[in-house]
Amino acid sequence: MPDSNDLPAILLITASSLTTRSLNRLIGEQFSIVHAESAEQAWQVLQSEAIIKVVICELEMAINEMALLERVRRAEDKVVASLPVLLLVGESDTEERMDLAFSVGATDFIHMPFSSIELMARVRLHSKLFSLHQKETSFELDSQNSPVDILNSLMQEKYFSNRLEQELSFSARHKSFVSVCLIKLDGADELEEKYSKDILKAVLRAVAKIIEKMIRREDSYAYFGDETFALLYPVTNGIGANTATKRLVEEIHNTLLNHQQQSIKVSLSAGLYSTLPTEELSTERVLSIIEQRLKKAEKKGGGQIVSSKSELEQNKVSIEQALNMINFNRTESLVKQIPGLLDGIMPLLEFIHTNDEMQFNRILDKFDDEPG
């Protein structure tokens, strides 16, 4: 058994002794668990422990007690501010509370009672990706700037394309999802005709401020011109990206922009693409896909989000069909089926874990091995 000092450190924040014992039993052999019973104690640990890789915290404690999650995201120490924060969600936690946590900067949610497989997989993934991101991007911190002036669309698009290219490469190497979204202000011509070009620009600036307020620290956004913004959600699958984009579209739709005692209400159309990319997937291909989906959303009348979700529901592939497609090297359309396929094999993985934990750990280790 490896020395606990050599293991990745997890900060667990809970007042429940049952939760503490459960996590120690399930992941204690592969992670060093630092326990904090309160938000204040957790904050002290984060100030003194430079080895924390993942924070696991009860939802209520993260957003209520000292607003710990918000405090982490606003930390001056950029390493602390970028830590993955996984929130434990109980039956009494509402969707509204989860939405609030996501808007403040939650990385992921783990529902209780949690599956041992789900817990191990998510903690290992986020711990590994956090370490890799720290290594790969730390040298760029001094040179990275937020997007330049909102109306300088050429510079914005170049900035975003570079970020997208980096994330596609990272996700392809480490087998993680990435999601990209294109959103456009509906009825821009009518707004300009009714008010003025300056008012249209003011509306765009207001939309930009709302986007900046609602996206996570690790997300990126840019202005492409023509009343269109692009958003990048790293290490985020279709479910998370759909949730984030829906919240953003609804927030802007419900926001009244005041002008000369008049309230201007606007809406957005959105095209969304989530993928587990290969090395061959280009930024041009991704941007082409979300442009097509944005056009479909606009044709629906505005205020709509078009993604691959409906396509997945209409074209579900069984485990047997997927194996046949792999055998015959017909996997191009299989990548977007991965979320459904994972749901299908979860019972089998649970069975293996329950009856042969050593073999199950061998399976996980294969995915952790770096290519030589």
- For the chain, the domains span 4-138, 154-311
Q: How, if at all, do strands 108-111 and 52-58 pair?
A: unpaired
Residue 370's contacts (CB-CB under 8 Å, 6 or more residues apart) are: none
| Phi, psi (degrees; rounded to nearest 5) at 329 | 55, 40
What global pTM score does this model have? 0.55
Question: Residue 225: left if φ>0, alpha if ψ -120 to 50, beta else—which one?
Answer: left
Tell whether domain 4-138 is in CATH 3.40.50.2300.
yes
Low-confidence ranges of the chain (pLDDT < 50): 1-2, 136-148, 310-314, 369-372
pLDDT at res. 148: 41
The pLDDT assigned to 230 comes to 95
Same fold, 4-138 and 154-311: no
Query: What CATH number should be reported for the domain whose range is 154-311?
Result: 3.30.70.270
- Tell me the torsion sign for CA atoms 137, 139, 142, 144: negative
CB neighbour class for 83 (10 Å; exposed up to 12, middle 13-18, buried from 19): buried
